Amino acid sequence: MNRPWDAITAYDAPLPTPESFEVYPNRDSYPFLQDYRFDPDWQVRDFVRGTIRLNGWAEAWAPVFREIETLEGPAGDARLAEMAAQFWAENSYDEGEPDRVVLFVSLKAERDGKVVWHEEWAMDAWGDARGTAMARLVSIPVSLAVESVLAHEIPAGVHAAPHDPKLIGKWMGQIRTLAQYLERVDHLAR
């Protein structure tokens, strides 16, 4: 596949009100596999980090995708900049319109063709009186990391994620207050 939009699939999200999205891989995820600290003996078949879009996104953007595939060189760069400015002007949030951030992290393990583990974190957050969801979900986790460095809970520098269960629990407790919905879903218990 040359482009991410060539790999769009449907995703039924485990939200309080079920919702379906379109998803596509946003980069090669295998280089990040070690950061998740999976057992090196595991045979990982699929490891995908993806971008979530509302249903109908691929169809609505199909003309844009077709045009992008033809753009090359300085003229192509100029056209991309022109398109970006047009999209920003036509699709920016209106004053007071809430943004929305949805995130899902899923792990499914199989042994001998049978699912033995399938859990997922599901988060849905939107802008409210506290500000935009994006601002909350970016700035506050960064502040948690800074506080953890100052408290010597994690070393200074850039890290993929903390691995200490106690620290993760503390951070997830804070993040739970930032989103309108954040739950761990056990698909085998359903």
Query: 89-140, pLDDT tens digit by residue?
Result: 998 899 889 999 999 988 888 888 899 999 999 999 999 999 999 999 999 9
Q: What is the pTM of this model?
A: 0.82
Give residue 26's pLDDT band: very low, low, confident or very high (50, 70, 90). confident
Q: What is the pLDDT, as a whole number, of residue 29? A: 80
CA pair distance 10, 54, nearest whole angstrom: 10
Q: What is the pLDDT, as a whole number, of residue 111? A: 86
CA pair distance 100, 104, nearest whole angstrom: 14
Q: What is the pLDDT, as a whole number, of residue 1? A: 60
Average confidence score pLDDT of the chain: 89
Amino acid (1-letter code) at residue 111? R
CA pair distance 103, 31, nearest whole angstrom: 21
Give residue 32's pLDDT band: very low, low, confident or very high (50, 70, 90). confident
pLDDT tens digit sequence for 8-23: 999 999 999 989 999 9
Q: What is the pLDDT, as a whole number, of residue 30? A: 80
Domain residue extents for the chain: 4-55+93-186
Q: Which residues contact 108 (CB under 8 A, 6 or more apart)?
A: 115, 117, 118, 187
Task: Look at the domain 4-55+93-186 and name its fold.
Answer: Dihydrodipicolinate Reductase; domain 2 (3.30.360)
